[in-house]
Amino acid sequence: MSAKENLGDYYADTAYTPTKRQQWEEANPERDTIIGSRLSWSRRTQDNGTNEEYGHNNIAISQNWEDQRIEKSLEGDDIFKGMKVRYDHQVIMPPHHTALTRVLHVATAFGIVFFFMSTASFFLLFLIISFHWLFGGNNVDYFLSSMLVSAQFFVPVVMTSLVLWKGGRYLEGKHPSIFYGMRKAPLWRLNRQTGLLTIYDPKTAWEKRLEAPFWEYDAFLQSSPDTQGSATYSLILYHPFQQIRQKLDAQFPPTNMPGELVAAWQFIQRYMDVSQPLPDVPALEIHRHKDPTTAAADQRKGRNPRYWRDMSEAEVEKIQKEKYQKNIRLR
C-alpha cells in the first residue's frame, strides 16, 4: 500500500507529510517569531528519539497501558479520560500533572541536591578547620567553637534536605496517586492520523485553545537558568499566526542537553510524518502493525515484530546509550 493510498484510506487530508511543510514555508516566508532558537524541519527525518524514548521499561509500561485500554474497552478520547495518558500509533497525549505533583517533584529534587551539596560543604569546612587547628597554632577551643558555629548552620540545612528527599521518596512508594497526581484533562495532543496538534486550555477541561495542522507550527528551544545558573532548555511549538505557544515539557522534560530536545523534535516529526513509518522505539512496538505506513514498511524490511521485546535489558540499554551519545552532539 503506497503512502498516497494510505492518505486516502486511513489518514485524514490534513495528515502531515514534509511536502506540506515545504509548501507552507514557501507561502509564509515572513512570519511572527519568539525568543529562542528556531529549529529546522527535516525533509526526511532520521529515525531518532530522546534517551528516555529508548528506555527498556517503556516496553512494560506500554503493554500495561494497552492491557488497561482493552480491559476497559476504551477508544478515542476515552483512552485519555480513562487512563489520563495516551501514547500509541495514532495519538500522543502526555499526562497533565497537578500543581501539587510538580511541587513535590521539585521539592524532592531540591532535597537530593542540597543534601549532597551541604554535606560535602560541611565536610570540606571540617577539613579546613582541622587544618587550621592542627597546623595554625590554634587551641582546641578554636576547633570546637568553629565546628559548633558550622553545625548550627549546616545541620538544619542537611536535615531539611533529608526530609524533602526521603519524604518525596516515601510518597512516591506508598502514595503514588499523590506523588504522580494527574488531572482529568490534557494539555495537548499530537494526532498522527489527522495531522493535527491540539492545544487545550489548562484552566478549562477539554476546551481547545487551538487546533491546527502540525506543519503550521514552528519549533523553538528556549533556555532559562536553573538553580545553579546553568542554562536549562525547553522545547516549544509556536503557531506564528495565532501567536499561541505550547511547551512540550510534559512529554520531553527540560534539560541542560539541548541535543536531547533536538532529538525530541526529530522524533515528533517522524511520528507525525505519514510518508514514513513510526519511530522505532520500544513503547511503540506493540502498535506498529496498526499503522498502515508502518506495517507496510515493516513487511518490506522483514522487521521482527518482537525486535525490542526479544532483547535483554542490557541489549536495549546499549542501544539507548549509543543513541544518547549521538543526541548530545546534535545542534
Contact partners, residue 326, CB within 8 Å, separation at least 6: 48
Is the pLDDT at 93 greater than 70? The verdict is yes
For the segment 103-107, the average pLDDT, to the nearest whole number, is: 68
Tens of pLDDT along 136-154? 666 777 778 877 888 888 8
What is the C-alpha to C-alpha distance for residues 265 and 263, in angstroms, rounded to an integer?
A: 5
What band does 158 get if pLDDT is binned at 50, 70 and 90? Answer: confident
Q: What is the pLDDT of residue 180?
A: 54
- pTM here? 0.79
Q: For residue 240, how many other CB atoms are within 10 A of its CB?
A: 16
Is the pLDDT at 290 greater than 50? The verdict is yes
Domain extent listing, the chain: 3-29+41-96+183-211+252-327, 99-179
Q: What is the pLDDT of residue 226?
A: 67
Q: Assign 3-class secondary structure to 261-329.
A: HHHHHHHHHHHHECCCCCCCCHHHHHHHHHCHHHHHHHHHHCCCCCCCCCCCHHHHHHHHHHHHHHHCC
Distances from the Cα of 331 to the Cαs of 40, 262, 269, in angstroms? 10, 7, 16
Is the pLDDT at 2 greater than 60? The verdict is no
Distances from the Cα of 316 to the Cαs of 196, 265, 277, 310, in angstroms? 32, 22, 20, 10
Residue 162, helix vs strand vs coil: helix
What band does 275 get if pLDDT is binned at 50, 70 and 90? Answer: very high
Is the pLDDT at 103 greater than 60? The verdict is yes
Tens of pLDDT along 186-245? 999 999 999 999 999 988 889 999 999 999 999 999 998 765 667 889 999 999 999 999
Is the pLDDT at 28 greater than 50? The verdict is yes
